[in-house]
Amino acid sequence: GNSVTQMEGPVTLSEEAFLTINCTYTATGYPSLFWYVQYPGEGLQLLLKATKADDKGSNKGFEATYRKETTSFHLEKGSVQVSDSAVYFCALSDQDDYKLSFGAGTTVTVRA
Amino acid sequence: DTAVSQTPKYLVTQMGNDKSIKCEQNLGHDTMYWYKQDSKKFLKIMFSYNNKELIINETVPNRFSPKSPDKAHLNLHINSLELGDSAVYFCASSQLVGQTEAFFGQGTRLTVV
């Protein structure tokens, strides 16, 4: 079955630092890959996505590239802000799977 | 306009009670889901519905019963609540099964005392 392994947190950074959250996946088919963000007390929001190999998703300064050869979809941001403090989830889905499979989530705290 | 709305946002109840959580989406999506998020933020799929038909039931106790009166609604009824049911429950919807992103509601924080 499909599964997602995500870098464990928590991660604490200073403002303007570089952020990387590692994500690798196992899938039988050709999945779409997603990063979701959950701000405190809120639901999940889609941050970015990629639907095929070598696609790069980007949004709000965050980027992730779909790497089929390494089955990875690492999230990066060059300069984080306090407002980026949240829980980040890597996820995948494919046409044969009637759900999103999520990683365990990584809590990121950015200090001023 | 809220895309996926669930009510109530908070629910505190005693063990043994029966409670329901309602979910509605106005996106015209065919697929709806219930997820459970535990205290460590781990998200686990509970149910998936496509066009009002149950397509996933992930080893959820039968005290949990989803009901989809139409494609825009997916409610969750829980009988005989237990302490271990305390969690945040998220409703979500997507246009297609697989390959597309899901839109999530704000969550219902259920506390069983």
pLDDT mean across residues, chain B: 93
**Structure-model confidence comparison of residues B72 and A30, the more confident one:** B72
Between the alpha carbon of residue A85 and those of residues A38, B29, B52, the distances in Å are: 9, 30, 37
Kindly state the average pLDDT of the residues B32-45.
Answer: 94
Contacts of residue B99 in chain A, CB cutoff 8 Å? Answer: 32, 51, 93-95
**What pLDDT does B40 receive?**
92
Confidence class of residue B98 from pLDDT cuts 50, 70 and 90? Answer: low
- Record: contact B45-A38, CB cut-off 8 A: no
Which of A34, A101, A107 minimises the CB distance to B101? A34
Class of residue B18 by CB neighbours under 10 A (exposed 0-12, middle 13-18, buried 19+): exposed
Distance, in Å, from the CA atom of B73 to the CA atom of B10, rounded to the nearest integer, reads 19
DSSP SS3 for B33: strand
The dihedral built from the CA positions of residue A35, B1, B38 and A27, taken in this order, carries a sign that is negative
pLDDT digits (tens, 9 = 90+) for B73-83: 999 999 999 99
Q: Which segments in chain A show pLDDT lower than 70?
A: none
